Structure 1
Amino acid sequence: MVMGSGSIDVYDLKIDLTSGIKEVLEKTGKDAAADIANNSPTGTTGRYKAGWTSQLINGGKTVAIYNNGKDATLTHLLEFGTAKRTTKSGKNTGVMSPREHIRPAYNRAKAKYLNDLNKIIIKPE
């Protein structure tokens, strides 16, 4: 089989997904922070639950979800559990079981983020 001679024109296709990804990332961060707050253990004050927030970092390429409240230091203790205080006589009173609320919210947010990325409408420049 002999191929004919001809020419093919190739054009660059310029597509900018940055703004779409940034919007999805920002929404995912806000939703994940709200999910963590909704599933956070509640103490007497509710300060731990109220401290969850999100912020775009790294030039809008990453979202940080964190607790900036007065009880922010409790995240590791609540998520993974800890030994309870010992009594004055030195007797161990047991352990506080973990109350996972961060990892499950992360897993849900990750699945939703990947799904939402597929919904970005591609518009050539």
Structure 2
Amino acid sequence: MDIEVGLESTAGRKSDLKSGMQSVKQRAAQKMVSEVRKNASTQFNRTGKYADGWTSEVDGDDVVVYNEGERDSMSHLLENGHVVIDRNGVLHGDWSPGEDHIKPAFDVAQKVYFQAAEDLIDDVLKEW
């Protein structure tokens, strides 16, 4: 095998792997968004605004899943729990327990990510 041909072939595989990983990240991010929306819809579905606000961005190596809707500041309160305060700001001393809806979605998305990455690597190696 000519060295230049081998280097071009390796560069092509590296490019395939890099673009494939972008797709893997996007797929995992979309899965997490759909899972969080599903979990939030079943647990906190008064208006649906909280569930609908979930979205994701993939920027290089970073994947961010977040809530950008009207109810975006509620995520940590709903996940971790909070004290109960009425509309007048009066503390009632009650504790509203959190309900896991983000962590389970992360766990599902993580499995999707690892499986898709493994499949991609297997495909690239088969072509080698």
* Corresponding position of 1:55: 57
**Alpha-carbon deviation of 1:44?**
2.4
Specify the structure having the higher radius of gyration (Cα): 1
| Identity fraction in percent | 26
Amino acid at match of 1:99: E
Larger CA deviation: 114-123 vs 90-99? 90-99
Provide the aligned C-alpha RMSD in A: 2.4
Q: Which runs of 5+ in 1 are unaligned?
A: 1-8
CA deviation vs aligned residue, 1:48-85 (integer Å, no higher than 9, x gap): 0100111112x2x2211011100000000000000112
- Answer 1 or 2: which has greater strand percent: 2
Amino acid at match of 2:111: A
- Structure 1 length normalisation: TM-score? 0.79
- Answer 1 or 2: which has greater helix percent: 2
Are the equivalent residues in 1 in contact too, given 2:28–2:112 (CA < 8 A)? yes
Aligned runs of 1:1-125 on 2, under 5 Å? 12=7, 14=10, 15-16=13-14, 17-40=17-40, 41-57=43-59, 59=60, 61-85=61-85, 92-120=92-120, 121-122=123-124, 123=127
Amino acid at match of 1:114: F
**Alpha-carbon deviation of 1:99?**
1.0
**Alpha-carbon deviation of 1:43?**
4.0
Alpha-carbon distance in structure 1 between the residues aligned to 2:113 and 2:72: 25
Alpha-carbon distance in structure 1 between the residues aligned to 2:73 and 2:83: 16
Q: Which runs of 5+ in 2 are unaligned?
A: none
CA deviation vs aligned residue, 1:26-61 (integer Å, no higher than 9, x gap): 01101110100100132422110100111112x2x2
Are the equivalent residues in 1 in contact too, given 2:50–2:69 (CA < 8 A)? yes
